[in-house]
Structure formats: C-alpha cells, structure tokens
Amino acid sequence: MDSEFAPLTLRALRRVLRATEIGSRQLAAATGLTPSQLLVLREIAAREAATPSAIANALQFSQATITTIVDRLQELGFVHRQRSDRDKRQFILTVESAGQMALAGAPDPVQTTFTARFVRLPQWEQAMILAAVERLAMLMDAQHIDAAPLLDSGLIDRSEPA
Amino acid sequence: MDSEFAPLTLRALRRVLRATEIGSRQLAAATGLTPSQLLVLREIAAREAATPSAIANALQFSQATITTIVDRLQELGFVHRQRSDRDKRQFILTVESAGQMALAGAPDPVQTTFTARFVRLPQWEQAMILAAVERLAMLMDAQHIDAAPLLDSGLIDRSEPA
DNA sequence: AACCAATCCTTCGGCTACCGAAGCATCTGG
DNA sequence: CCAGATGCTTCGGTAGCCGAAGGATTGGTT
C-alpha cells in the first residue's frame, strides 16, 4: 500500500497558496496597500498593545523591515505610534479608524468568493475541511510545536533539530 | 444553527500560509535563492517548453518581473534561455543540471517536516486531509473556475463578476 | 508585396520589501 | 551607578515588482 497522499496534498496545497497569494496582491492593488503592509496592519489589529518586535516576531520579519512598513502605515494615517509608559524603549502600535476602515472595507476577493462557496457545502463537509485545515496548521507550524507538542501519540520524531 | 465554519477555516488557513511562507523564506536563505527565484525555477521545471509569458501568467507576475528573475537564474547557471524556432519572439526556458540539483538538493524544511508527520497519520485521516485540501483548491482557484465550473450542483453563484 | 495591429520580450525608471550592521535610548541585574 | 541586554531606528545595499516605452517578429489585410 504505502499510499502516497503526502505529495498530492502538498501539490494541492500549493495551488491554494498560489491562489491566496495572488488574491492578496490584487487586494493590495485595490486598497493602495502592499501585501506586506496589509499583513502588518492585520497583525497589529489582531492584538492588544502591539509592539514592533512582537509583530516582527509573529511575522518573522526583521525589526528593520517592520520599521519601514509601520512608517508608511503611519504616513497613511492607518496606524499610531506611541511610546510605552512601562518601557520607554518600546512603541505601542494602534490602528487608527482609517486603518479599521481600510481593513473592513477591503475584503479579500479570494476570501469573499471562498466564503460564498464554502457556506454552500453541506455541513459535514464544512466540518471536515475545517478539521483538516486545523490539522494541517498543526503539522506545519514549527514554532508552536516546539513550545508544546500538540500532536497525538508517537507523531513527533524530531529528527535532527538542525 | 448557521454554524460559522468559514471564518475558522480561514483563520486556520492563514496559519498554514504563514508557516509555508516563512519556510520558503528560510529555504531561500539556505539555497542562496530568493523565494521568487525558487518559485520561478519550480514553475519552469514543471513544464515543457516554458516561455517567460507562460510563467508570468501562471504566477501572475508581469513579464518585466520574470525577465529580471530569469536574468538572475541564468547568471547562476540554473536556467537556459534559447530563442524558439517556431516563433522567434519567444524564448524557451529550460532548467540546467545545476538548477535541477538546486531543486532536488534543497528540500523545503516545512515541507519535509510536514511530510514526516503526515505519513504517521492514519490512512483515513491522510485521505480526509487530501480531499479537504483539494476541495479548498477548487474553492479558491478563481482562474480555472471561470474556464470550467468544476464544482458540483448549485455551488456556483457568480454574484457580480466585479 | 507592403503594411498594421497584435504579440513577445527586454530595458528603463521608480517605488517597496527585506535584511544586517551600527547607533541611540532605555532597562535591568549586580 | 555601571555593564550588558533590549527595543527601535537609521543606513546602505540587494532584490522584487511594476508600468511605460522600445525593438523584433508574426499574422492578417488589402
């Protein structure tokens, strides 16, 4: 048997990736933001008291990169920079209302059509897809797995941490 | 019920995307190639008689972008440019042996660990994930759907083509 | 045959992404 | 109060990415 599901899954996954990547670039063009700017904006919006280093860490960008992107978001009036009181080395980043509107008013087209189609699937299939994607996320997310082995028995091998 | 599987799926999917994106950047650093160069190289390798415009179209890059990336791949000796006989405006791109080796010798770390973990899942789950991801690819790939409605009955809505 | 529009690719100019290294301010442990 | 660590920015550099313009080639028209 030794069925070869893995490469097929990877290939299909690449198609998904490509589609979303292209969509995010189109979205960027539509909003005037670049994909990276959008990514950073979303990441700031998603957390309380975001700091540049936290964003850099979450997105795996260097701090220098975050600085330039935040610079631009600030120029656009989407984000506010404010020194932290606790630690005056830090900046607290917050999303201004203009930024909120940009996020809300510019739905990702791929995401939109995806959702429109997805909700038409039978419930069981929706649930199945969700379960599968969450499983995928676990299988791929190396960061969190190092912190806490989420997977079931005997799944983790950890051959050479490099 | 009106269960909200869609946003959860999107959120999980974003985690997957992030993980692969980060992995591809790490891979790039490891091989000396950039993510885009790798993408283009893979795309050339994947097809017979690749032309710049075909690659540009598949990856949704401009021709100008492909030109510069192929320039660099050529400098590295990974890709060969040759005028087409049929149509002398075109170039035929082929992957040189050095490029083949680069592709083969530099496995994506995310992909590798993913596969290592994936194959340990029970067969039924592997099959389930594969089915789900293929379904996802269908749901997201706007390009092909316009050409041929792949989905089952009543799935397509096509509300405003924008 | 001569032309015109379309097509393929490149070149050019310009902005952004992204990084490492260096620099400045601040914090923390001793 | 000082030394080292930390958070962020600035600087210099490579690459991505694009639209517009340009050179060559093609196919269809008259």
Type of residue at A109: P
Tokens 């020194």 belong to A83
With a CB-CB cutoff of 8 Å, which residues 27-56 of chain B face chain A?
A: none
Of the candidates B3, B20, B132, the beta carbon closest to that of A132 is on: B132
Question: What is the structure's pLDDT at B96?
Answer: 94
State whether the beta carbon of A30 lies below 7 angstroms from any atom of strand D.
Answer: no
State whether the beta carbon of A114 lies below 7 angstroms from any atom of strand D.
Answer: no
Distances (CA, A) of A8 to A14, A15, A17, B115, B142: 10, 11, 14, 11, 20
Does the distance separating the beta carbons of B20 and A16 come in below 8 Å?
no
Question: What is the structure's pLDDT at A53?
Answer: 96
Question: What is the structure's pLDDT at A23?
Answer: 82
pLDDT tens-place string over residues A117-154:
999 999 999 999 999 999 998 888 755 444 333 333 33
Q: Are A5 and B118 in contact (CB under 8 A)?
A: yes
Query: Which residue, B85, B110, B7, is CA-closest to A145?
Result: B110
User: Which whole number is the average pLDDT over A16-38?
Assistant: 85
Does the distance separating the beta carbons of A114 and B10 come in below 8 Å?
yes
pLDDT tens-place string over residues A80-102:
999 999 999 999 999 999 999 98
Give B132's contacts (C-beta < 8 A, 6+ positions apart): A128, A129, A131, A132, A133
* DSSP string over chain B: ----HHHHHHHHHHHHHHHHHHHHHHHHHHHT--HHHHHHHHHHHTSSSB-HHHHHHHHT--HHHHHHHHHHHHHTTSEEEEE-SS-TT-EEEEE-HHHHHHHHHS--HHHHHHHHHHTTS-HHHHHHHHHHHHHHHHHH-HHHHHHS--S-TT--------
CATH topology (fold) of B27-107: Arc Repressor Mutant, subunit A (1.10.10)
- Average model confidence (pLDDT) across chain A: 83
Provide the positions of strand D that have an atom within 7 A of a protein CB: 6-12, 15-21, 23-27
Question: What is the structure's pLDDT at A2?
Answer: 58
Of the candidates A116, A129, A159, the beta carbon closest to that of B9 is on: A129
- What is chain B's pLDDT, residue by residue, as a tens digit (162 residues)? 557 899 999 889 888 888 888 888 888 777 889 999 999 999 999 998 899 999 999 999 999 999 999 999 999 999 999 999 999 999 999 999 999 998 887 777 788 888 899 999 999 999 999 999 999 988 887 554 443 333 333 333 333 333
Does the distance separating the beta carbons of A19 and B142 come in below 8 Å?
yes
Minimum distance, in Å, between the CA of residue A44 and any CA atom of chain B: 15
More confident residue, A57 or A150: A57
Question: What is the structure's pLDDT at B107?
Answer: 76
Does the distance separating the beta carbons of B130 and A128 come in below 8 Å?
no
State whether the beta carbon of B67 lies below 7 angstroms from any atom of strand C.
Answer: yes
Between CA B147 and CA B23 the distance in angstroms is 32
Would you list the domain boundaries of chain B?
A: 27-107, 108-144
Of the candidates A17, A115, A118, the beta carbon closest to that of B20 is on: A17
Measured in degrees and rounded to the nearest 5, phi and psi for residue B160 equal: 45, 105
pLDDT at A20 over 50: yes
